[in-house]
Amino acid sequence: MQSTSSDEAQQLAEQVARLAQQRGARVAVAESLTSGMIANQLGAAPEASSWFVGGVVAYAADVKFKVLGVDPGPVVTAHCAAQMATGVAELLSADLAVAVTGVGGPDPDEGHPAGTVYLAVRAGSREAVGHHHFDGDPTQVIEQSTVAALQLLRTALETPH
């Protein structure tokens, strides 16, 4: 049986699929903390091949720097999340991109407690960044981060151009 957050993520991905198809938008992801969970949800959504262009799992800091063009320095920041979203949008020629970076735990990282998550979405010249603190073990933090990222992506798709 799937968990509630998995069901919610699936429903959100289906909503993203519908909205992306309606807008003719190309969607990409840049993931660190979530290690491909967001891409997994989007890739399983209806007609994914027509709107989901792919993603980059940039778990290591140097991959963020080299592949996504993130400024060297701390990676558990709003600035890093925003640069990840911009970097993957440019790399994959996407109209919209969502990115996530953070600390899954169980230990703190870069002075941030476990559960600290930064999300960003890039839609053309528009950008939105969110900061969250999720409770639970690393798996629960990843699941909650995936849902939050899909919610952010859905909101960006619902916003008029």
Average pLDDT over the chain reads 95
CATH fourth-level superfamily of 4-158:
CinA-like (3.90.950.20)
Q: Phi first, then psi: give them for residue 11, nearest 5 degrees.
A: -65, -40
Over residues 18-77, the pLDDT tens digits come to 999 999 999 999 999 999 999 999 999 999 999 999 999 999 999 999 999 999 999 999
Domain boundaries, the chain: 4-158
Q: What is the pTM of this model?
A: 0.96
Q: What are the Cα distances from residue 26, in Å, to 54, 89, 100?
A: 9, 9, 18
Q: Residue 1 has what pLDDT? A: 40
pLDDT exceeds cutoff 60 at 2? no
Q: According to the 3-state scheme, what is the secondary structure of 7-60?
A: HHHHHHHHHHHHHHHHHCCCEEEEECCCCCHHHHHHHCCCCHHHCEEEEEECCC
Check pLDDT > 60 for residue 84: yes
* Distance of alpha carbon 117 from alpha carbon 81, whole angstroms: 9
103-121 pLDDT, tens digit per residue, is 999 999 999 999 999 999 9
